[in-house]
Structure 1
Amino acid sequence: MSVFTEPEVGYLRSQRIGRLATVDGHGQPQANPVGFFLNEDGTVDIGGFAMGRTKKWRNTEANPKVALVVDSVVSEQPWMVCGIEIRGEAERRTGPHDLGAHMSDEVIRIHPRWVYSWGLEDVPGATSRTVPADPSP
C-alpha cells in the first residue's frame, strides 16, 4: 500500500473512529465522528447505518473535497499525541460491500490526495506529502 507508510497503516488499522469533514452547499464546513475502514489499495471507506440520509452524504454530492482526522492521546505525562489527517476526494458508492450487514448500502470512499501524520514514529515531528492521483507503484 504505497499511499501510507507502515507506521501510518498500523495506526489506522488500530483505530476505529475518526472525524470526517465535508463542505455544505453554502461553503460551511461540517465535521462528524465516523467509523472508517482502510482498504488494501490505500483508499478509506466511511460507512454508516443510514449513510444515504446524512448531511455528509449530501455534502459530498455537491463538493467531493473531504478530510478525515484520526488522532489519540499517547501519554498525559509527558503530553504526547499522535494522528493522521487525510485530505482527498470522496467517491459516493452504492451497493454491496464488506463493511458489515448493519451498514447501509451507501459508502463514502476517500481517495487520498494529501497525508499529514504526527507522533507515529520514533522520530519526533510530523510529515506531510502529496499523494499522486494514481498511487500504484
Structure 2
Amino acid sequence: MGFTDGEIAYLRSQPLARLATLGEDGQPDLVPVAFELDDGVFWVGGVGPDVVQTRKFSNLRAGRDKVALVIDDLISLEPFIARCVRVYGRAELPIERVGMVGPGLYSRIVPTTSWSWNIEGRPAGDTWYPAHRTVHQPDRVD
C-alpha cells in the first residue's frame, strides 16, 4: 500500500516538513526541511558546501537511518481545524541531484508506516480526528 490520493494531494500542497534523525547519544534531532514527494518517496536535502556537515546527514552517515517526518498545518483555531501526515521511514545516504531548492545533496526517504488525519480539512467537533494508518510495502523487484 501507499499514500491515498488525498494524502498525496495534501503532501504536494505543503512546502515544509519536520525531519527527525537520531544523534550519536540517542537524542532525536528535529529540523524543518523543504521536501519533495516523488512516486511515494520523499527527498530532503540542501545546497551549498556546508550541507554535508548538517546533523541530519551526519546521523545518516553514521548508520542511523531510521527517521520520522511530520507534515502538518493548522487551518483555523475557531473552529479548530488541523491536518497532518506523520511518516516513519528509512533514509538513504545523500546523493547529488537537482531538487526543489536546486542542485545539491538529497537523501531519499522510503516510508515504512504513515498516519494521517483530517486530510479533508474538517472542524474537529467534540472528538479528535481518527487516524488513518498505512503500512508501506517496499519496492519489489520481480
Q: TM-score range by the shorter chain?
A: 0.7 to 0.9
The equivalent of 1:33 in structure 2 is: 32
TM-score (norm 2): 0.84
Letter of the 2:42 counterpart: V
Larger radius of gyration: 2
Residue of structure 1 aligned with 2:130, choices 114, 121, 125: 125
Are the aligned partners of 1:3 and 1:135 in contact in 2 as well (CA < 8 Å)? Answer: no
SS of equivalent to 1:92: coil
Partner residue in 2 for 1:6: 5
TM-score, structure 1 as length reference:
0.87
Structure 2 runs not aligned, ≥5 long:
123-128
CA distance in 2, matches of 1:100, 1:121: 26
CA contact (8 A) 2:83 2:121 kept: no
Gaps of 5+ in 1: none
Judging changes above 3 Å, is the alpha-carbon distance between structure 1 residues 135 and 82 closer, same or farther for their aligned structure 2 residues?
Answer: farther
Root-mean-square deviation (CA, aligned residues, Å) is 2.0
Once the two structures are superposed, what CA deviation does each residue of 1:69-106 show, in whole Å capped at 9, x if it has no partner? 010012211111001011100011322x23157442x2
Classify the secondary structure of the residue corresponding to 1:134.
Answer: coil
Separation of aligned partners in 1, 2:111 and 2:100: 23
Q: Which runs of 4+ in 1 moved over 6 A?
A: none
1:129 deviation in Å? Answer: 2.0
**Partner residue of 1:112?**
111
Q: Distance in 1 between matches of 2:12 and 2:101?
A: 20
CA deviations over 1:42-89 (Å, ceiling 9, x no partner): 110002124312011011122000011010012211111001011100
Q: Match for residue 126 of structure 2?
A: none
CA distance in 1, matches of 2:90, 2:100: 23
